C-alpha cells in the first residue's frame, strides 16, 4: 500500500515496467526521501502459485524484472534496504550450468568406454578431460551439500518425509523441479538482457 500523494509525486507506476513494479516504485520513493514502513500486524492474502508451469513462469518473470531493477538501481547507488528478487534461487541458478558441465564432460568417457574397451588404460592420456570431469563432479557435490543445508533443504526434507518409502524418487522429483527452475531463471535473465539491448519493458 502506498500513500497516494507520495506515489503521484514520484510519477506513480511506469506502464512500461515489466513485472516487479511495486519494488521499482518503492525504490523511487526511497530515492526521493520517502520511507517504507514495516507493519507487522498487516495481513496480506497472497494467491499461491499452483502447478509447476505457473511456478516456473513466475520465476522467469522475477528474473527478467530483477535484471531491469538491478540495472537501474545498482547496490552501490541504492539507498535503503537490500533486496533480492530471486532470493535463495542464487543456488538454484547454478544447478543447470553445473549439471550441463558434468554431463558434457562425462560424455567422452561414456562414448569411448562403449566403443573402446581398452579406453580405461588410456585415461591418463586424456588428463584434461579427466580433470574437467572431476572438477565438475566435485562442484556438483559441493553445491548439493550447500543446497541441502540452505533454505531449499527444507523442500528436500519435506519431499522425503512425504514419501519415506520412495526417497530416491522424491529426491529425483525435487531435483527435476529445481533444474527446471534454474532453466527458467536463465531464460528470464536472457529475456531481461534482450529487453535491455532493445530498450523494451522499462529499460
Residue pLDDT, tens place only, 99-149? 887 777 766 666 666 566 565 545 545 555 667 667 777 877 777 777 777
197 touches 68 (CB < 8 A) = no
CA distance 52 to 36: 33
- The answer to whether the beta carbons of residues 23 and 69 sit under 8 Å apart is yes
d(CA 27, CA 94): 28
pLDDT digit string, tens, across residues 139-151: 777 777 777 776 6
Q: Find the radius of gyration of the CA atoms of the chain.
A: 22
Q: How far is 22 from 27, CA to CA, in rounded Å? A: 9
Instruction: Tell me how far apart the alpha carbons of residues 201 and 66 are, in angstroms, rounded to a whole number.
Output: 12
Retrieve residue 156's grid coordinates.
528436500
Predicted confidence at residue 184, as pLDDT, reads 93
| Average pLDDT along the chain, 203 residues, taken 10 residues at a time | 88 81 85 85 82 89 88 75 60 82 70 59 56 74 73 71 72 81 92 92 84
The reported pLDDT for the residue numbered 193 is 94
Polymer length in residues for the chain: 203
Amino acid at each position: 500500500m502506498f500513500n497516494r500523494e507520495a506515489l503521484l509525486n514520484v510519477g506513480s507506476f511506469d506502464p512500461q515496467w515489466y513485472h516487479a513494479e511495486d519494488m521499482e516504485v518503492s525504490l523511487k520513493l526511497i530515492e526521493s526521501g520517502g520511507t517504507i514502513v514495516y507493519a507487522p500486524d498487516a495481513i496480506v492474502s497472497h494467491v499461491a502459485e499452483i502447478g509447476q508451469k505457473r511456478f516456473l513462469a513466475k520465476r522467469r518473470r522475477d528474473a527478467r524484472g530483477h535484471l531491469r531493477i538491478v540495472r537501474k538501481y545498482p547496490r552501490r547507488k541504492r539507498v535503503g534496504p537490500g533486496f533480492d528478487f530471486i532470493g535463495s534461487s542464487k543456488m538454484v541458478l547454478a544447478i543447470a550450468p553445473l549439471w550441463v558441465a558434468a554431463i558434457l564432460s562425462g560424455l567422452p568417457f561414456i562414448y569411448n568406454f562403449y566403443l573402446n574397451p581398452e579406453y580405461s588404460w588410456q585415461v591418463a592420456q586424456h588428463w584434461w578431460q579427466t580433470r574437467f570431469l572431476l572438477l565438475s563432479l566435485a562442484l556438483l557435490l559441493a553445491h548439493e551439500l550447500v543446497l541441502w543445508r540452505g533454505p531449499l533443504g527444507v523442500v528436500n526434507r519435506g519431499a522425503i518425509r512425504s514419501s519415506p518409502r520412495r526417497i530416491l524418487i522424491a529426491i529425483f522429483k525435487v531435483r527435476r523441479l529445481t533444474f527446471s527452475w534454474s532453466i527458467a531463471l536463465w531464460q528470464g535473465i536472457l529475456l531481461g538482457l534482450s529487453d535491455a539491448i532493445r530498450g523494451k519493458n522499462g529499460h
